[in-house]
Each structure stands twice: as structure tokens, then as C-alpha cells.
Copies of this chain bind each other. A is one copy, B any other.
Amino acid sequence: MRDVAIIGVGETAFGELWDYSFRDLGIEAGLKAIQDAKVTAEEIDAVYVGNMSAGKFIDQEHVSALVADYAGLADMHLPTVRVEGGGACGAVALLQGRMAIASGMHDVVVVGGAEKMTDVGEVQAAEILSSTADQEWESVFGATFAGLYAMMARRHMYEFGTTREHMAAVAVKNHKNGALNPVAQFQKEITLETVLQSPWVAEPLGLFDCAPLSDGAAAIVLCAMDQARRYTDAPIRIAGSGQASDFLALHDRRDLTTMDATVVAGKRAFAEAKVEPRDIQVAEVHDNFTITEILAIEDLKFVEKGKGGPATMDGVTALNGKVSVNTSGGLKARGQPVGATGVAQAVEIVRQLRGEAGKRQVVGARRGLTHTLGGTGATAVVHIFERGA
């Protein structure tokens, strides 16, 4: 299979961007990535767009053609593909772009992710997020997205002694990292007290256990490795990718405290990359809720099952800890424009592996990982990235 490299990255600011439309977001991120890669429009073979729910957020389907058009690429008549997999869409799009190049059909592909969430009210936005869970067996009975994750948190507390303080430590760490990221939605440190005293969203998850609603976009230019040196001295190689699905509804799963999709996706990605969790210096993992990061670092085998909370508290996943997790601030502090997430995570890893992460640079970062979830874990995608030799 042909090796694929990332040769350019770009992203918008993340936040409540009321002066940006969806198309503005897609264009800005895409053009930044294209400029960073120094490719011309003529060299681009295809455009992939990860997007969860533009149909419901902005009443617009067919957003891949939209973004290519408004980025000035309509005359090139490029193939454009929108990919959706709940909150994992950006990561799934990246995998599809990788396959398109690996197949030999394309050489240079732009992969973007975007979501414009704040044009609808907060209740409506919460309902839209819930539509990635099982509508007929969960959402329709009133289970919110936060409510479903709260059940996982409660079970994790029961089985492993995880505390609210352990979960709060995730938020504190990610806000601390976000304060060092100039595009983060929240660039402000918080304390354990802030999290613990925040109002319930779904007990035991308080407001500061939850990632925000956000607008934003991120983009990446992929290129066949055998051509990447034409564009950059620092191609970042996709060393391994794994994707897995699971039962859509929580009640059908084997276990509430392990996401099998993460476990399987991780195994597949590590096997392809021929590395172990200990070989990863920096990881962006899905932290739509604080409990989610704890599950992720356990299921990816960065820490022992059940020890995710104490490990976070002990700084194992802090900046320049054993493995630096969510140096961007994660979904929690960088923000959570759903369709953009998987791509934005990869952008952060590329910055870290290039040594361009500024104040949040992980010392000696040679290999990074992204982990992205759809729904309550019915989709999981793991990518492993390496600095080119």
C-alpha cells in the first residue's frame, strides 16, 4: 500500500463565531492548509469533508461540493466527498482521503472538517448531537448525549473508584493546555473547584465536565509519500489507521466502562504502525466529556484499566508527562465543532511533530496519535503519525 503523508495543515479559530458562515469556515481552513502545503489548485485531485449535521445545523446538505465551489475550485471539477460518522467524521474523512491516495487513484487530496453549531439554540444543538445515538431506543425516550455519558461515568466510579475530582482533573489539564493554544475557544486556566462547583448537566457530569458547542474548521493536505518531498522537508507520515464500530445503543454493549470500538481501532492502528502505546509521545483523544478522556487513555492502553482518573491526577497525561494528552486543549478547551474534530486533532499532532507547537510543544515528539469517537462510541477511529525519516 502506498505511503501517505501530511504536507499542509490549517484551521480557523474555534468558538462562537457569529460573523462566520459554514462556508467561510471551510474556505479559511482549506486555504490555510493549501498555502501551508504550497500546492496549486491544479495539483489537487479531490476534496473530502468531514461534517456531522450541516443538514440540521444550517439546513444545507451537499457541503463537500459547497466548500469546493466557494474555495474557488468549481472550475477544476474535483471529486468532492462528504463523510459522516457522528463526531468521528473528520477522522473518517482523513482515512478515506488516505485510502484514495493509497489506491493510486489520487496523489494530492484536501481533507477538511467543519461544523457551524451556534446558528441554532442550545437545546436544539443538544438534540442534534443526540441524533448520533440510537434515536429509536435512546434519544426518543429522553436520553441526552450528556445523560448517556453520565451513565458511563457513574459505572466507572462504581467499578474503579473513580471520583469527580479525577474527572475534574481532565478539565483542569485541558484548560491549562488550551491557555497555550491561540485558536482555542477557552484560553483560560480553571481550578478543580470550578469544575466541582459547576452546575449539573447530567449528574455526575457538571458544566465544566462537558465540551462546549463550537463553530470551527480544520483542514489537511495529504500527498503520496513518494511525492511529498516536492512540497515540504517535513512530511508527516500516517503510519497506521484503525477504525471500528460497535452497538449504537449503550444498553446493547458488553461493558459501559470499556469502549470496544476504541480498543479494536487502537489495536488495528498500532498493529499497522508496528508500535506500542509507549512509543507515542503526544495524543489527541476524544474528550467531549471528562469521563471520555479517562476511558480513552485506558482503552488505548496508555494506562491500566480503571487507573485513568488517578493517572490524570498524577500528571501522567500532562504536557510533557509520560504521554502528553490533548495538548491543543482537546474538545474541552480548544472546542468541539463536531465535524472538524478529527481533522483538528491531526492538525495539532502535525504541529507537535514539526516542532511548531509553541508554548505547548512536547519535547522530543516523534510519534503522535489521534482518537476520535462517533456517537457514544459506536464509531472510533485511531490514526498514528510519525515524522518522516
Enumerate chain A interface residues (CB-CB to B < 8 A): 1-2, 21, 23, 47, 52-53, 55-56, 58-62, 64-66, 68-70, 73-74, 77-86, 92, 95-96, 99-100, 102-105, 128, 131-136, 139, 243-249, 252, 260-261, 264-265, 374-375, 378-379
Indicate if the CB atoms of A379 and B99 lie closer than 8 Å. no
Instruction: Quote the shortest CB–CB distance from A7 to chain B (angstroms).
Output: 19
Indicate if the CB atoms of B102 and A65 lie closer than 8 Å. no
Point out the residue from B47, B77, B246 that lies within 8 Å of A264, measured CB to CB: B77
Q: Please give, as numbers and ranges, the residues of chain B lying within 8 Å of A136 by CB-CB distance.
A: 21, 23, 60
Indicate if the CB atoms of A85 and B65 lie closer than 8 Å. yes
Q: A21-B136, A62-B374, A96-B96 are in contact. List 11 more A-B contacts (CB 8 A).
A: A53-B61, A55-B56, A59-B131, A60-B135, A62-B133, A65-B246, A65-B375, A66-B134, A70-B248, A77-B260, A77-B261
Indicate if the CB atoms of A65 and B86 lie closer than 8 Å. yes
Given A21-B136, A52-B61, A85-B64, decide whether A245 and B80 contact each other with a Cβ distance below 8 A: yes
Indicate if the CB atoms of B378 and A62 lie closer than 8 Å. yes
Report the copy number of this chain in the oligomer.
2
Given A55-B56, A245-B80, decide whether A62 and B100 contact each other with a Cβ distance below 8 A: no
Point out the residue from B53, B78, B105 that lies within 8 Å of A1, measured CB to CB: B105
- Bound-state CA distance A139–B62 (Å) is 13
- Bound-state CA distance A59–B78 (Å) is 30
Indicate if the CB atoms of A378 and B65 lie closer than 8 Å. yes
Q: Please give, as numbers and ranges, the residues of chain B lying within 8 Å of A378 by CB-CB distance.
A: 62, 65-66, 69
Instruction: Quote the shortest CB–CB distance from A317 to chain B (angstroms).
Output: 25
- Bound-state CA distance A79–B381 (Å) is 9
- Bound-state CA distance A155–B131 (Å) is 41
Task: List 8 A-B pairs, minimum CB-CB distance, nearest first.
Answer: A79-B243, A102-B103, A62-B86, A103-B103, A65-B378, A77-B244, A62-B132, A77-B264
- Bound-state CA distance A324–B317 (Å) is 63
Q: Please give, as numbers and ranges, the residues of chain B lying within 8 Å of A243 by CB-CB distance.
A: 79
A64 nearest CB neighbor, chain B only: B85
Instruction: Quote the shortest CB–CB distance from A79 to chain B (angstroms).
Output: 4
19 A–B contact pairs at CB < 8 A? Answer: A47-B245, A52-B61, A55-B55, A58-B135, A59-B135, A59-B139, A60-B135, A60-B136, A62-B85, A65-B374, A69-B245, A69-B252, A69-B378, A70-B248, A77-B245, A77-B265, A78-B245, A79-B245, A80-B379
Point out the residue from B23, B62, B102, B264 that lies within 8 Å of A131, measured CB to CB: B62
A131 nearest CB neighbor, chain B only: B61
- Bound-state CA distance A12–B86 (Å) is 26
Q: Please give, as numbers and ranges, the residues of chain B lying within 8 Å of A264 by CB-CB distance.
A: 77
Instruction: Quote the shortest CB–CB distance from A169 to chain B (angstroms).
Output: 30
Given A82-B85, A102-B103, decide whether A247 and B69 contact each other with a Cβ distance below 8 A: yes
